[in-house]
Structures are given as structure tokens and as C-alpha cells.
Structure 1
Amino acid sequence: MTVRAKFRCHFIQKADDNSHCTVHMSPVTDDTPENKTWSKYTPGGLLQMHISNPAAFSQFEQGKEYFLDIQPAD
């Protein structure tokens, strides 16, 4: 089974030398089908990712929403 949640990027902390960053995200609390798959009421949570690959952290934008798909890793 896969659980899909929608998270919003609240802010990005970049290192002074731009070698890495920390992306801070939390769930979008809208009444959406994605959120109902994992939270009966208002979803809550936090996600912080420390990313040291500039090509990866350049994919994130403050204020933008992202889907997180969670499934077992076999």
C-alpha cells in the first residue's frame, strides 16, 4: 500500500558556500483526498531533509507544495 500526502516547503536554509541545505516542510491541511488517505482529521507533521546534492536541493522552492509517496522498501 502507498500513502500519499501533500507537504508544503516552508523554508530552505542554504549553507553559506551553497554546498548543502535543509528543507523544512509540513503537511498541507486542506481537505484533500491525498490527506484523507493518512489522516482522518487535520494532518500534522514535520519533515526536514538535509541535502548535500545541489542538483537535488535545487528542485525545492519555498512556498511550493509537493506530494510525498510512502511505500515499503522491499
Structure 2
Amino acid sequence: MSKTVRAKFKVDEVTDYGYGAKRVKLSAVYSHDRNSEDNQFSQATPSGQIEMMVTNPDALEFIQPGKSYYVDFSEAKN
């Protein structure tokens, strides 16, 4: 059984380069409210950034600035 680590990131910026590719910048979600889900994630991933270039039209439609997304990490085979 493989392990998965889940983090929660918010889309801070989407930059359209005009040729079908967009740069997406995300940052780890945090909260000081002990009762919120975001606080639970901020204890595990208190800070972090992800930056990626996206060309998939469905993904570009799905990823929206200001929204938060779960990011799941699982080990990849080499």
C-alpha cells in the first residue's frame, strides 16, 4: 500500500502567455483558527510555493485564481 501526503494550496496568480500556456503560482494555505481545516494543513505545511506551466485546456479552465486545491503527493516510480 503506497502512502500519500495531502497539502492544501491556494492559487495566487495565473499568468497568460498568450500561446496556450499559463503560469500558475500557488502558496500553502494557513489559518490561526484552531477549528478550521486550514489550520490543520498549516500545521503540516506551514509554508510553501508551487509554480508550474500548464497547457492542458481542461486544467486551465479548472484552475482559478483565489481558489484552493488539495495537492496529493505519492511516490513515483523512476
TM-score, with structure 1 as normaliser:
0.79
Q: What residue ranges of structure 1 are gaps of 5+ in the alignment?
A: none
**Structure 1: distance between partners of 2:60 and 2:50:** 14
For 1:28, give the aligned amino acid: V
Read off the aligned partner of 2:15 and give its amino acid letter.
Q
1:10-61 residue CA offsets vs partner (Å, 9 max, x unmatched): 11001224x11011100001212x444x34xxx1111011011222211101
Aligned residues: 68
Q: Which residue of 2 is the match for residue 16 of structure 1?
A: 18
**Contact 1:4–1:35 under 8 Å retained in 2:** no
User: In percent, how many aligned pairs have the same letter?
Assistant: 29
Q: TM-score, normalised by structure 2?
A: 0.76
Partner of 1:71: 74
Greater helix fraction, Structure 1 or Structure 2: 2
Matches of 2:64 and 2:55, distance apart in 1: 16
Runs of 4+ in 1 over 3 A off after TM superposition: none
Is 1:61 equivalent to 2:26 in the alignment? Answer: no
Gap regions ≥5 residues in structure 2: 32-38
